Amino acid sequence: KQHTSSSSLCGRPRQARLDVPERLSIELMGTVPARCQAQCAPCLTCCENSGTPICEESQLAATSNVGLPLSFNKEVSKRKSFSPSNLSTSDDTVFVPPAGCEPHIYDNGAIYTGEWKCHLRSGQGYQVWPNGARYEGGWSEDREHGRGCFSYPCGDRYEGEWVTGKAHGHGVYFCADGWMYAGQWRDDKQTGEGVEEWSDGSKYTGHFALNKKHGYGKIEWADGSRYEGQFVSDNLEGEGVYTWTDGRRFEGRWRDNSMHGRGVYSWANGQTFDGEYRKGLKHGQGTVTWPDGRFYSGLWDNGKQQGWGMMAKGSDKGQWEEDWENGAQAA
């Protein structure tokens, strides 16, 4: 058998690092751009001074979008197998291996030193390719098998378990740029429980399927914001809790990285919204409650109050019903 090295090999495609998030405008609500930031808590001073609690809605809407720095892992679908076996092509050439563990040089310049069985690399050995790639560890029937370490010319390396030439079992992949994954592998893909870490300190711990975050997991970004809950194909989807560094928190349903379904959004000052969301905006029945006891309960349409609702004004006795249209009181 002969091996030919790949001149373009430099490990596997990188996991996209987490960028420093940026602030979202109100116009971008419901979207998750490549770079985004959890927004600051709304300023309630002007609303409190006006004596009209409903005017806070403009501030509430401004924070309905979840600023998620979800640039992570977006290139994962382009990832190809990184097995060192992909460096080579096999043919039917028959050769007589040298005696003992003397180096064997292939026509392409690759050098194998190690144990053999029935003319095949089996047992412990290491192989070096002309481009600087190197594998050292177990072999079986001419394939990487057992525990081993493969180092790429670019500085990346994988250390862990192999089955017939593929990463399979527990292993750790180190990227030269600081990204690291430690966990379970299946057929060269991250599948099972694992941990990803980025050079800026961000970290994901949870379940993977076919190189994507899938199932239950938790991620904490370098700025301190964090999410814990369900993932589907790298997206926040299902039940989950997102917490911002300024004390804001959303607990509820997610779909495609947006608040979608029932949930509770709370601010550090005690203000809450309990109701329905659609694509990151309040939509359907919901109730806003202020720390002083005021509340508004009614219908919402794409982030704005719509139709009849009920409001209680703190220390004032009684309740009032008001009609709203497109976020403003109807005439």
User: So what CATH class is 223-330?
Assistant: mainly beta
What is the pLDDT, as a whole number, of residue 89?
31
> How far apart are the C-alpha atoms of 260 and 194, rounded to whole Å?
27
Q: Report the Cα 254 to chain-centroid distance in Å.
A: 14
What is the pLDDT, as a whole number, of residue 310?
86
pTM over 0.75? The answer is: no
What is the pLDDT, as a whole number, of residue 321?
56
What is the pLDDT, as a whole number, of residue 107?
92
What is the pLDDT, as a whole number, of residue 57?
33
What is the pLDDT, as a whole number, of residue 100?
58
Q: Is it true that domain 103-200 has CATH number 1.10.3720.10?
A: no
Q: CATH 2.20.110.10 spans which residues of the chain?
A: 103-200, 223-330
pLDDT in tens, the chain (331 residues): 333 333 333 444 444 333 322 222 222 222 222 222 222 222 222 233 333 333 333 333 333 333 233 323 333 333 333 344 444 333 333 334 445 578 999 999 999 999 999 999 999 999 999 999 999 999 999 999 999 999 999 999 999 999 999 999 999 999 999 999 999 999 999 999 999 999 999 999 999 999 999 999 999 999 999 999 999 999 999 999 999 999 999 999 999 999 999 999 999 999 999 999 999 999 999 999 999 989 999 999 999 988 888 888 765 544 445 665 655 554 4
